[in-house]
Amino acid sequence: MLKTRVITAVVLLAVLLPVLFQPSPWPFAWATVLMMGAAGWEWARLNGLPGTGALAAGAALALACVWTLLIGGLHAPPPWVWSAASLVWVLGGAYALRAGPAGWPRIARGVRLALGAALLWGAWLAIVQAKVHGINFILSVFCLVWMADIAAYFGGRAFGRRKLAPAISPGKSWEGVWSGLAGVILLGFTWVHVIDLKLAVDSPSLYTLLVQRHGWVSLLALVFLAAMSVVGDLFESLVKRAVGAKDSSGLLPGHGGVLDRIDALLPVFPLALALISL
């Protein structure tokens, strides 16, 4: 199992890193269209649209991303787009987690499918716009999510006692969440005072932009973003638990599906762009 995970991770990095580090954002944008098409297919399957219908849903989401690129290129959308996405994630995430796995199937399937498509499209647009901001910026957002996850894992293993959401994800603990938040704050401090100051970066990081725009309040912004990465993770876990699925698919051997890899990223990228656009 570990060997399979490592091989899959190496292949993914071999594909994604070259386009991520291209100066032009276009190769990365086209690569992420394929990723979101796969995620749309997985979402449709998890929400009761089998076979050809799920494939059509994934293709429709990919075409929506292509259409967006063709009509707008890589121009930044108005800031209200990020504000609207933030509102949906904060209020909708709270509602979904409060209702739990039993409440999710009670929502009409058409609403669930449309909501997933909108959230995936919004996250894709935010990821592409993050690349437009610069390589250092997009890496700083990716690393925020990865740090929150890694620190939460080790903190939960070492100190975890109180379950965070046992009906949704039994392995997560409040101690893990606090560890993740501490890790993100440490990462932000390091990025602002070491990476952005001492290395030849192509753009300011998310952390530096937050400090420039919000001063000490940027600390609360980092805590908020780290917490929302947990919400993204729990939301996907809730949907899978509601239908009795372990993984979103088997597209990535050893890792599950695309949604399993990007769930925590989905709310963070739109929210990050909303915070720096205030």
Query: CA nearest 241: which of 149, 174, 167, 171?
Result: 167
Number of neighbouring beta carbons within 10 Å of residue 98 = 8
Pairwise pLDDT comparison (243 vs 1), residue with the higher score: 243
DSSP-derived secondary structure letter, 88? I
Per-residue pLDDT of 17-66, as tens digits, reads 899 999 999 999 999 999 999 999 999 999 999 899 999 999 999 999 99
Cα–Cα dist 240/45, whole Å: 10
Average pLDDT over residues 104-121: 95
For residue 130 the two structure tokens come to: 């993050």
| Residue 247 · residue 240 · CB < 8 Å | yes
The residue type of 102 is A
Torsion-angle region of 273 (φ positive above 0: left; ψ -120 to 50: alpha; else: beta)? alpha
CA distances from 24 to 15, 21, 39, 260 (A): 16, 8, 24, 28
* 60 or 3, which is more confident: 60
Quick one: tokens of 16?
Answer: 């994604």
Q: What is the mean pLDDT of the chain?
A: 93
pLDDT at 4: 81
* CB of 199 closer than 8 Å to CB of 249: no
C-alpha distances in Å from residue 86, one per residue of 6, 45, 97, 123, 128: 34, 25, 16, 11, 17
* pLDDT confidence band for 2 (50 / 70 / 90): low
Helix (H) or strand (E) holding 173: strand 169-173
Beta bridge partners of 8: none
Question: Helix 174-190 and helix 135-159: axis angle, to 10°?
Answer: 140
